[in-house]
């Protein structure tokens, strides 16, 4: 028996509601990534960019899903700022929280 949930746009199966929530969270992360890139590339505000990436990484519910892309963008930002120690720390945290092949490969690439 499938559970149904009443929402503002009608009745929806609970399974679909959780998928909708995930899509909304992914959209929010895309907006945050675009904002961080704007701060870095257009506004050239380095410290605020670092804060935006940090907040994004804090707000992601890593136990449900994690964006390797966000971890990689934050680490690449630090590499562009010539802060390899921070890039290593970000990638090390990413490996501990959300071990994915892309993250391992970027960590190896930085070390070479």
CATH of the domain at 42: 1.25.40.10
Give phi and psi for 12, each to the nearest 5: -135, 140
pLDDT computed for residue 67 by the predictor? 77
Tens-digit pLDDT string for the chain (112 aa): 444 444 444 444 545 556 677 777 778 878 888 888 888 888 888 998 999 899 888 887 776 667 788 899 999 999 999 999 999 999 999 998 888 888 888 888 888 8
Q: Give domain status of residue 1, yes or no.
A: no
For residue 71, give the nearest of 92, 42, 43, 45 by alpha carbon: 92
Residues 3 and 9: their CA atoms lie apart, in Å, by 16
* Domain count of the fold of the chain: 1
Element (H, E) at 77: helix 68-80
Q: Give domain status of residue 5, yes or no.
A: no
Q: What is the dihedral of CA 58, 60, 66, 72, to 10 degrees?
A: -50
Residues 91 and 98: their CA atoms lie apart, in Å, by 10
Q: Give domain status of residue 4, yes or no.
A: no
- What's the domain range around 78? 11-111
Q: Give domain status of residue 30, yes or no.
A: yes
pLDDT computed for residue 17 by the predictor? 54
């Amino acid at each position: 028996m499938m559970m149904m949930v009443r929402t503002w746009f009608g009745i929806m199966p609970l399974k679909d509601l959780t998928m909708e929530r995930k899509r909304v969270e992914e959209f929010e992360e895309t907006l945050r990534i675009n904002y961080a890139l704007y701060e870095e590339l257009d506004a050239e505000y380095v410290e605020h960019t670092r804060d935006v990436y940090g907040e994004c990484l804090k707000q992601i519910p890593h136990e449900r899903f994690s964006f390797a892309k966000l971890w990689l963008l934050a680490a690449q930002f630090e590499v562009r700022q010539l802060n390899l120690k921070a890039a290593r720390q970000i990638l090390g945290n990413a490996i501990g929280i959300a071990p994915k092949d892309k993250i391992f490969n970027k960590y190896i690439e930085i070390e070479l």
